[in-house]
Structure 1
């Protein structure tokens, strides 16, 4: 059973009322995204608020977090309120589609760990199904939103399993969004390719490709992982 909270160095994530808990790959996304010079950041599907708080720690940006699920949004609000950056984070409890109809703001960084199972067995837990499946956030809607609201020089960070990442990449290419950077996550040496993070921009150029192995064969975290997460994890 997952812990009711996850303690980071500078903030705490309460997660007892949310379907999706703190996970390693999402932490990698939050640490890998380049946000130092960002002025306006959007976190799509914030869940517990994890990504918003991670990027708040490393930037001076104003952050907008969007979350469709009422229970998750309430928990994210709680986590934001208890953080050092509560005055820089605003939460919108609505679908991305509704947010897009009302939004007047452009963002120089958009970050998203979206629902990703396009056609698979649904969970009996409705909240968890919504959190893990694309039924409420089709990839096409996500691409169109990013194209409309990302600044011309902005970056869109997206975390997906490898197969879904390639489906999205093909859709993005048709909309003139191009992968500037790619990070492939592996559980351990010679282990499973767990997730892919793409950093999309409007500039077409060769993709800078990297890989990150999370654990050594002895199950200790790798030096690369420790370096990336050292500002967040208590154990480093």
Structure 2
């Protein structure tokens, strides 16, 4: 265990999946957004290739490994997060299924293969580079949360280049960028097919957007029922509790 963890890292449970993940409060800890995206996206059960862009500490590849036997590739720019992801994958004995690439999303497509992938997931930076009031003074969090190295449009373009015809791309973002993400998806031939808005609780505005599209798909957008995270009493709703902790 001592060789597994570095500095202020800890080994957390992914409860519903019976997996463990290395996290660090000063570098990166995954949020509910990643969990919801991993549950939202449609994935092949057996064969195929799934690519997760902006993987962070590998949380989405780990979650997806519990849903599919397909090959999973994670792409992460920050070396420290890439290293954490690799150690988590090894700890869970998933090296046969999950591969991490320490690379830039904008440059990685030729290395994975153009139009070779069945599914692409992405939890991209949410905030524009100039949104100074939202910036975190921690460099790791700033890069993960702000469009310093990767914009929303660049993330959608990368996903489109990776996907086969009929392949699926799924993103999680802020509802305020809904029009932007729709525009980018259509610009790069990913037709939006499923959208779900996540609300902190009933009576509040949505604060998370999940969207999935199909490469060269036909127009037919479905708005899924809303998902509420907390009850009026401040407890997780039944739906979210099942996502986090299992049945």
**TM-score surpassing 0.5?**
yes
Return 5+ residue gaps in structure 1 as ranges.
none
Query: C-alpha separation between the residues in 2 aligned to 1:20 and 1:126?
Result: 11
CA separation of 1:191 and 1:17: change in aligned 2, threshold 3 A: closer
The aligned residue for residue 58 of structure 1 is 67
TM-score, structure 1 normalization: 0.90
Contact persistence 2:9–2:25 (CA under 8 A): no
TM-score, structure 2 normalization: 0.87
Matched, 1:98 2:107: yes
Contact persistence 1:214–1:221 (CA under 8 A): yes
The aligned residue for residue 131 of structure 1 is 144
Aligned length: 231
Query: C-alpha separation between the residues in 2 aligned to 1:102 and 1:34?
Result: 24
- Helix, strand or coil at the partner of 1:98: coil
Alignment RMSD, CA only? 2.0
Bigger mean CA offset, 151-160 vs 215-224: 215-224
Return 5+ residue gaps in structure 2 as ranges.
1-7
1:224 shift after superposition: 2.3
The aligned residue for residue 157 of structure 1 is 170
Bigger mean CA offset, 116-125 vs 194-203: 116-125
Query: C-alpha separation between the residues in 2 aligned to 1:196 and 1:123?
Result: 22
Query: C-alpha separation between the residues in 2 aligned to 1:22 and 1:172?
Result: 25
The aligned residue for residue 86 of structure 2 is 77
Q: Provide Cα deviations, 1:59-104, integer angstroms capped at 9, x if missing partner.
A: 0110110000000000000111111422111110011122124332
The aligned residue for residue 220 of structure 1 is 235
Query: C-alpha separation between the residues in 2 aligned to 1:25 and 1:149?
Result: 23
